[in-house]
Amino acid sequence: MEPRRESDPGGRPPEGMAGLAKGLAVIEAFGPDRPQLSVTDAARATATSPATARRCLLTLEQLGYVSFDGKFFRPTPRMVRLGAAYLETASLPSLAQPLVLAARDELGESVSLAVLEDDQAVFIARAEVQRIVSTGVRLGAQLPAHASATGRVLLAGLPDDQVDDILQRSRPQATTSNTLVTVEQIRARVRQAREECLAYTDEELELGMRTMAVPVHDSHGRTRAALSVSSFAARASLDDMRTKMAPVLQGYAERLGRML
């Protein structure tokens, strides 16, 4: 009989690589609001000691994933390989991308697909309309689930107790005068999204930008993703989005769902 193995306090089996976990946490600390990290920044963002954060960053530099100018570490193009491993091999992005492109062409607006991960709506497929001013969303970008149309559609697919847990952890902050900042307001929008199979934001995250999202249900009726369209407010009213764009978006969401 094999000897009994003990787990650490966090439940990780003894064969787990703690160093790898810390390195990945440092990689995830980079983002639009943190395009560069000092050792102190990395330690704070990952709740590790400065010595541990420094070892992780220096290892990533040696492997070519970050550069170092003597003070700050910055991601290099090699970092793209990590995200590409998922986007190029996972079935959902591969299946979705042709439909996202087709929806973009039919609607004449930018279309995205997102999934829920760690209370965030993470974009895994995207088709951008070429305009002088970009909507700023990119593959791998994250938006708080409670604050985005895609996130509210994804939350609507969860049981109420899970939704409440996520909303209690959220820290709503007003970025425009239209931002919803109370748990009660956001919960009401999530319930509305569940009833209507559709969610929207009207200049809540950014002035001049509206977004509408619909769920992608798999063959078992589970919400697997959210398909969304974004438009500048000057180009489309909410009524336009509901009457003209939502049916198109729902059609492509249904087509994708039949493949899952």
Q: What is the pTM of this model?
A: 0.68
Whether 72 and 102 share a structural domain: no
pLDDT for 86 equals 64
Tell me, what CATH number does 55's domain have? 1.10.10.10
Confidence of residue 8 (pLDDT cuts 50, 70, 90): very low
- Bridge-based pairing state of the strands 199-202 and 142-144: unpaired
CATH number of the domain within which 106 lies: 3.30.450.40
The number of domains in the chain is 2
Average pLDDT over residues 128-133: 68
Domain encompassing residue 33: 18-79
Same domain, 121 and 250: yes
Q: Quick check: 51 pLDDT over 70? A: yes
- Percentage of the chain modeled with pLDDT above 90: 55
Residues 162 and 225 in one domain: yes
Residue 4 CA to chain centroid, in angstroms?
39
Query: What does the DSSP assignment read for 22-53?
Result: HHHHHHHH-BTTBSSB-HHHHHHHHT--HHHH
111 and 75 housed in the same domain: no
Q: Is residue 40 part of a domain?
A: yes
Is residue 62 assigned to a domain? yes
Pair (125, 250) in one structural domain = yes
pLDDT band with cut points at 50, 70 and 90 for residue 118:
confident
More confident of the two residues 40 and 14: 40
Q: Residue 201: count other Cβ atoms within 10 Å of its Cβ.
A: 27
